[in-house]
Chains A and B, each alone.
Chain A
Amino acid sequence: MSAEPDSASAQNITAFFAELSRIYSADRILTNNAQLAPYESDGLTCFRARPCGVVLPETQQEVIDTVRLCHRFEMPFIARGSGTSLSGGAVPIENGLVIAMNRMNKILDYDAEQLTAVVEPGVINLKVSQHVAGDRLYYAPDPSSGPVCTIGGNVAFNSGGAHCLKYGMTSNHVLGIKAVLPDGEIVNLGGDSLESVGQDLTGMFIGSEGLFGVALEVTLRLLPKPEKYYTLQAAYDSLEKAGNAVAMVVASGLLPGAMEIMDRLSMDAADAAIGAGYPQDAAAVLIVELEGTTDEVEAEMPLLHSVIEESGAYIVEAAKDDAHRTKIWTGRKSAFSAVGRLSPDFIVQDGVVPRTRLAEALAEIERLSGEYGIRVANVFHAGDGNLHPLVMFDGREEGALHKAEELSGEIIRLCIRLGGSITGEHGVGLEKRMYLGEMYGEDDIEFMHRLQHAVDPQKLANRGKKLPAATAPALLTRGAHPLEKQGVIFRD
């Protein structure tokens, strides 16, 4: 149900599919309802749309031909990885085409000496690190969804993970991209060197949420795996103390690989799901991980311990071995899905606040949670100030989703007010479009629209995501909630 007339008439659709079947064998074009159902939504299940079809390319040429065909027929399309987006970014365009990239899952080249790997975009994030582990190398960005999400999805969202503090996000680990622009033109951005000359086009493509076309091949930068990890889990009787501990670690001059906080509710969830075994009376746990050469980490350990003790932690547990470390991280990384044990539905928010305002942000979220009578679990990348409030609701209750969305909106605005961002790593997608205009000025938003227009004048590539609807001024979107009109995905 788009506000605009269907871009492809029925007659056109028939012709379009006839052409598609020249590219794909019948088993790689999905059109019946049962086949399409899994592609209707993503990790944020409250958005849904029905595509006209799904194609399963196995070669770059098939993707290129498909994009060119879409361009010829003015058929909107979306590239899809594993559909784990948490912002509605992978929801299809109503009656558009889905290009499912999962079969494009080959590691094309791996050069241990050059610390690079060239991969197809359907390669699973974790597979990269597994592939290079024999040379004691790894691919640093580690989203919790690593075992399922794809490099293409990571590129589209500039995905992060628990270890961004030191080494950054996806864009800090991608050296080059071969992509097909929305009109079928092929571009090679960047290369295989850490250094470059001229505008950083690779950086511009990353995080564009599919609006600039489809990535066909991605050159990744690999890092030597840290020789030693020292993982410490500290329990606090208040969330604020845990937050302050983060500031104290930063002030000490240490640069940990990760600093993560879980509050009581998220600990309960992880306990229920995987029996993580968190201290029963703790209001918060902080996970700090040092990583590096054995000598360096061993020299840092006493410093970290003294900071953590001073911060008022009442239980401090250090990982004894690899298995113990894995257990600590499994608890943390399971938190998202584990919240499913506490609540039938939930929304994950992803706002960022300046680290110095963490305590303030958490107190305000707690207040809002009370005011709305909605439980909010907090698990977050504390080192980056990247919050992940999990707003719980029961979708079967009348109006519950709407209320949860409203509370989410307040949390997003809180992040903007504190000088942060509406999203640290999950992307704007469908869900946060109306807030973009509150983070940026009207002129900046218009500029972004013009950039999209310059690259894709017909808005064929993932139309309707990332940017607020061009036709409505950004401020208007503050009013009525789009979910009031369930099923209406966008008006663009």
Chain B
Amino acid sequence: MTTSSMHRPANIEELQDFVRASQNIRVCGAGTKPSLSSGAIVSTSGMSGILEYEPSEYTFTALAGTPLSEIRDALAENGQLFPFDPPLVEAGATLGGTTASGLSGPGRFRYGGIRDFILGVKMVTGEGRAVFGGGKVVKNAAGFDIPKLVTGSLGRLGVLVELTFKVFPIPETWTTIRADFRGLDTGNLAMIRLAMAQEELQCLDLEPSGRLWLRLGGLSAAVDGRVDRVRKLLQQVDAGVNVEVLSGTDDVHVWDDAREFRWVPENYQLIKLPVSSAQVVTAEQLLTEAGFESARRYSVGGNVLWLAIPESVGSDEVDRLCQQLGRPALALTGSWSDPQRGPRQGQAFAERLLTVFDPDSRFETAATA
């Protein structure tokens, strides 16, 4: 990101003027996902702040450039949180950038991802028009679901300006369970069992070594009983499993580290691959066969593979993996001709909608290579 030529409109009108007068527009928030924001010429950082927050409604509205940390703190003061557990909060990610990237964190296992909690959006389209979609109440079936559409749109449909989300109360207490299984197969089996069980876990992550991370949230009076039940389920998969219970700051650190991707080695590129738990073992095999170094974490009960690879690994390797798994991928860091890799679905539908959002193709997604 070069800051010298960066435009920072202070309000929606300035942004509209900018869009009408510009071409090849790439948008960025705080730039915490460099592959998605490189070459940006307009930043939302001038449009920041919480506009409305009514805790008893479970909703807030904030400008796109608002740092997630600011909203998280405001929510926490009122005993609430982002149910979709957005990543890179400490790194400085903004609400708009997170929405446009369509990213959720490990805690989305419990209630749903960012697309499940977005309620409303005000945005500027390629014609410089301000468009409002969705609503500001927790339930709304009027109009087309533009808020969902723009989730993950990577700046291609327009600039998000104002967003409304649904939030939930913070559980009274958190507890993390770390379970070390003999290997990936057993760990994955345990993950599948736990995802099907009635334990209402907040997070369910697997490391390739067979280490399973589980998080419980709820009333402190119930914690011990719940931990015991989870322990039993884990032992049913493998009686010899090594189980450790973490609470307090130990619990918090585990998920902060996961959310901030602190496990990713320096100079590695980070890629998101939506998968399913049925593919975990296959994915590991394919990566072994591919022969390059990587660090991995399977999150959300095996619904997403966070893959970190050295910069030396070419995009064709990633494309091959996508092909083999039949999944798309999104690169958050590193150099890419297109951060979106692999098969794309629904293009015929997407292209038609794009003609309305950006008829003159003013917007483009980032490309670094």
Contact = CB atoms under 8 A, between A and B. Distances in A.
Given A299-B221, A354-B54, A187 B345 contact: yes
A421 B142 contact: yes
B276 A196 contact: no
A205 interface: yes
Interface in A219-236: 224-227
B275 interface: yes
Contact of A436 (B142, B154, B192, B330): B142
B274 A444 contact: no
A206 interface: yes
A136 interface: yes
B300 interface: yes
Greatest chain B CB density within 10 A among A226, A426, A444 is at A444
Nearest to A383: B138
A190 B152 CA distance: 12
B284 interface: no
A122 interface: no
Contacts of B349: 179, 181, 187, 189, 201, 204-205, 212, 455
A454 B358 CA distance: 12
Interface in A253-299: 253-255, 292-293, 295-296, 298-299
Contacts of B300: 194-195
How many chain A residues sit at the interface, stated as a range, is 35 or more
B58 A203 contact: no
Given A195-B272, A250-B58, A255-B169, A158 B145 contact: yes
Contacts of A113: 192, 195-196, 277-278
Contacts of B198: 136, 224-227, 293
Contacts of A353: 137
B153 A164 contact: no
A317 to B, nearest CB: 23
How many chain B residues sit at the interface, stated as a range, is 35 or more
Contacts of A224: 196-200
A173 to B, nearest CB: 9
B99 to A, nearest CB: 10
Interface stretch (A54-62, A335-343, A445-453): A445-453
A28 B303 CA distance: 42
Interface in A154-178: 157-158, 160, 164-169, 171-172
Contact of A439 (B55, B142, B330): B142
A379 to B, nearest CB: 15
A204 B349 CA distance: 10
A224 B347 CA distance: 33
A422 B137 CA distance: 11
A474 to B, nearest CB: 13
Contact of B152 (A200, A205, A303): A200
Contact of A440 (B125, B132, B154): B132
A82 to B, nearest CB: 18
Contacts of A441: 132
A355 B136 CA distance: 11
A207 interface: yes
Contact of B116 (A168, A385, A386): A168
A203 B146 CA distance: 8
B113 A208 contact: no
A380 B301 CA distance: 35
Contact of B168 (A190, A203, A255, A300): A255
Nearest to A211: B144
A142 interface: no
Contacts of B57: 354-356, 385
Given A113-B192, A113-B196, A200 B151 contact: yes
A199 B157 contact: yes
Contacts of A419: 136-137
Nearest to A452: B144
B278 A444 contact: no
Contacts of A165: 138
B11 to A, nearest CB: 18
Interface in B323-337: 327-330
A171 B276 CA distance: 20
A188 B222 contact: no
Nearest to B169: A253
Contacts of B218: 292, 296, 299
B79 interface: yes
B298 to A, nearest CB: 11
A457 B218 CA distance: 51
Given A167-B111, A196-B274, A250 B350 contact: no
A114 B278 CA distance: 7
A200 B196 contact: no
Interface string B117-156: 0000000010001111101111111111110111111101
B339 to A, nearest CB: 9
A204 B144 contact: yes
B102 interface: yes
A157 B196 contact: no
B304 interface: yes
Interface in A99-141: 111-115, 135-137
A384 interface: yes
A197 B156 CA distance: 13
Contacts of A13: none
Contacts of B132: 440-441, 444
A127 B259 CA distance: 38
A192 interface: yes
A20 interface: no
Contacts of B170: 253
A251 B57 CA distance: 10
Contacts of B144: 204, 207-208, 448, 451
B150 A199 contact: yes
Nearest to B130: A443
Contacts of B133: 444
Contact of A200 (B111, B115, B168, B352): B115
B348 A197 contact: no
B151 A199 contact: yes
Contact of B350 (A201, A427, A447): A201
B345 A451 contact: no
A198 B343 CA distance: 11
A295 B157 contact: no
B29 to A, nearest CB: 18
A200 B275 CA distance: 16
A-B pairs, 9 with minimum CB distance: A203-B148, A195-B274, A295-B225, A295-B222, A421-B140, A299-B222, A194-B303, A193-B274, A299-B221
Given A197-B342, A224-B200, 10 more contacts: A165-B138, A193-B304, A195-B113, A204-B149, A207-B141, A295-B225, A355-B58, A424-B137, A424-B141, A447-B129
Interface of A: 111-115, 135-137, 157-158, 160, 164-169, 171-172, 179, 181, 185, 187-208, 212, 224-227, 247, 250-251, 253-255, 292-293, 295-296, 298-300, 303, 350, 352-356, 381, 384-386, 419-428, 432, 436, 439-441, 443-444, 447-448, 450-451, 453-455
9 contacts: A113-B195, A171-B145, A185-B348, A194-B301, A196-B274, A197-B330, A201-B149, A224-B197, A419-B137
